[in-house]
Chain A
Amino acid sequence: MIKKPKKYSVFSLVRNALSYHENWQPAWRNPEIKKNYDAIIVGGGGHGLTTAYYLAKNHGVRNIAVVEKGWIGGGNTGRNTTIIRSNYLWDQSAALYEHALKLWEGMSQELNYNVMFSQRGVMNVAHNLHDVRELKRRWNANRLNDIDCDWLNTEQVKKFCPVINTSQNIRYPVLGATLQRRAGTARHDAVAWGYARGADAMGVDIIQNCEVTAINVNNGNVTGIETTKGTINSKKIGVVSAGHSSVIAKMAGIKLPLESRPLQALVSEPVKPVIDTVVMSNTIHAYVSQSDKGELVIGAGTDGYNSYTQRGGFNIVEDTIMAIVELFPIFSRMKMLRHWGGIVDICPDASPIISKTHINGLYFNCGWGTGGFKATPGSGWVFAHTIANDQPHKLNAPFSINRFSSGELVDEHGAAAVAH
Chain B
Amino acid sequence: MLLINCPYCGEREQEEFSCGGEAHIVRPKNPPELSDDQWADYLFLRQNIKGLQYERWNHSFGCRQWFNVARNTATDEILAIYPIGTKPPKIDSNDPITPCGEPQIGSGNFSTSKK
| Complex interface bits, B53-80 against A, C-beta within 8 A gives 1, otherwise 0 | 1010000000000000001011110000
Q: List 17 A-B contacts (CB under 8 A).
A: A71-B111, A246-B50, A247-B50, A259-B21, A259-B48, A306-B21, A307-B76, A309-B74, A309-B75, A309-B108, A310-B108, A310-B109, A311-B108, A315-B15, A345-B48, A404-B43, A407-B36
Please state if B44 and A313 are interface contacts (CB–CB under 8 Å).
no
Q: Which of A74, A255, A259, A405 contacts B111 (CB 8 A)?
A: A74
Q: How far apart are the CA atoms of A345 and B109 in the complex, in Å?
A: 17
Nearest-CB residue, chain B, relative to A341: B108
What is the interface of chain A mostly: helix, strand, loop, or mixed? loop
List the 7 closest pairs (A to B, CB-CB), nearest first. A70-B111, A246-B48, A305-B19, A257-B44, A311-B108, A405-B36, A405-B40
Q: How far apart are the CA atoms of A209 and B110 in the complex, in Å?
A: 12
CB neighbours of B75 from chain A (8 A): 309
Q: Is A348 an interface position by the 8 A CB rule?
A: yes
Q: Is A213 an interface position by the 8 A CB rule?
A: yes
Kindly provide the distance from the CB of B20 to the nearest chain A CB, expressed in whole angstroms: 9
Please state if A404 and B76 are interface contacts (CB–CB under 8 Å).
no
Q: Is B33 an interface position by the 8 A CB rule?
A: no
Which of A228, A244, A256, A305 is the most central at the interface, judged by chain B CB atoms within 10 Å of its CB? A305
Q: How far apart are the CA atoms of A257 and B48 in the complex, in Å?
A: 9
| Complex interface bits, A240-254 against B, C-beta within 8 A gives 1, otherwise 0 | 010010111011000
Q: Which of A259, A313, A406 contacts B15 (CB 8 A)?
A: A313
CB neighbours of B37 from chain A (8 A): 405
Q: How many A-B residue pairs have CB under 8 A?
A: 111
| Complex interface bits, A57-73 against B, C-beta within 8 A gives 1, otherwise 0 | 00000000000011100
CB neighbours of A348 from chain B (8 A): 43-44
Please state if A211 and B98 are interface contacts (CB–CB under 8 Å).
yes
CB neighbours of A246 from chain B (8 A): 46-50
Given contacts A228-B98, A309-B109, A310-B107, could you give 19 more A-B pairs where the C-beta distance is less than 8 Å?
Answer: A70-B112, A211-B100, A211-B101, A213-B99, A250-B47, A255-B41, A255-B47, A256-B45, A257-B40, A305-B71, A308-B73, A308-B74, A309-B106, A310-B109, A311-B108, A313-B14, A404-B40, A405-B37, A405-B40
Q: Is B18 an interface position by the 8 A CB rule?
A: yes
Tell me the residues in window 328-353 of chain A with beta carbons closer than 8 Å to chain B beta carbons: 341, 345, 348
Please state if A406 and B46 are interface contacts (CB–CB under 8 Å).
no
